[in-house]
Amino acid sequence: MNSRFSRYALIWILLIVTVYIGDQFIRGAFLTADDPRPVTARGSLAESEQSTINLFEAVAPSVVYIFTGNGEPEGGGAGSGFVWDRAGHVVTNHHVVAGARSIAVRLDTGETVSARFVGSAPDYDLAVVRLSATRASLRPIPIGQSGTLKVGQSVFAIGNPFGLSRTLTSGIISALNRRLPTADNREVAGVIQTDASINPGNSGGPLVDSAGLLIGVNTAIISESGSSAGIGFAVPVDVVNRIVPQLIKTGRVPRPGIGITVLPEEIAARVGASGLIIADVLSGSAAQKAGLRGVAGQVIGDVITHVNGQPVRTLAEFAEALGKVGVGNRAELTVQRDRSSRVVMVEVIDIS
């Protein structure tokens, strides 16, 4: 019995070994792809894919890579920008070119051209440089509008994150009307928030809609690591389209004010003031002509609570309200002094 079982077991083992060896032989001799494999026809791209490809091919030639130097061997920085007009003006962020001793721009063609600084608006984190030699092939980016944007719209960012040129990322508009702090306690209003990946090097590059129209200038991210965390911000194109022409014409943007300094907001909150406490009134200013008073010793003078009927609680809100009035026009200020309120008309002046 044991002898018969042993014979059967041996036969099964031999059969298994034979099948295994035969399988390996067949795979090695007939199934191994040791020559290039034939290509499988893919078929048409999805409509959404083709649309994104067309958008990139249309917008990318307008996007540039900006290099800056500050005179130090290891100094300088880099960022993105885009062609504004055929005269060679390029728009970027103020913080990309601030303090630069030299500026170079690499075009979509791969050519690098030196550029000169034209002007900047730190309050809006915008700047303009101009190529030293214009190129007939320059393609200005098409301009859209930001006032009609909706949360949920598709958006695309093109730039040079971490020095990787011609990079496209996509996402949606996550929120609108954010406020972005800039220089000297100022803010940009109406800022676009997006989840499209924006990283260091994207600064100054365009944010475009699904039609390939400029809707914003990428300027900042919120991230503990310094890399994209899905929260990026762009200066709205309606602001850009107002500020950039002024920079091209004069190299600067008027800074609306009335000639005052104010106490820090925390002090106003501590004493229960519901507005801006005037610390000092500059001699000969519009504020002095209007009779406004600052702090005298331990005595609080005037507290500005409203501009043209709209409440203002921070310097940024005050600056925004004066900006809407415009330099050369008169603003109606509601002012409190000694617990009484009055209305004062003050001319808005350029304090830059």
Query: What is the rounded CA–CA span in Å between residue 54 and residue 39?
Result: 25
Give the chain's end-to-end CA distance (angstroms, integer).
Answer: 109
Give me 35's structure tokens. Answer: 């020559």
Give me 181's structure tokens. Answer: 């702090």
Q: 160, 78 in Cβ contact below 8 A? A: yes
Looking at the DSSP bridge assignments, the partners of residue 347 are 330
- 3-class DSSP state of 232: strand
Query: What is the rounded CA–CA span in Å between residue 173 and residue 157?
Result: 11
**Closest-CA residue to 123 (of 175, 194, 183):** 183
Query: What is the rounded CA–CA span in Å between residue 303 and residue 189?
Result: 24
Query: What is the rounded CA–CA span in Å between residue 62 and residue 140?
Result: 6
Q: 176, 149 in Cβ contact below 8 A? A: yes
Active site members? 95, 125, 203
Query: What is the rounded CA–CA span in Å between residue 58 and residue 48?
Result: 15
Which DSSP state fits 29?
I
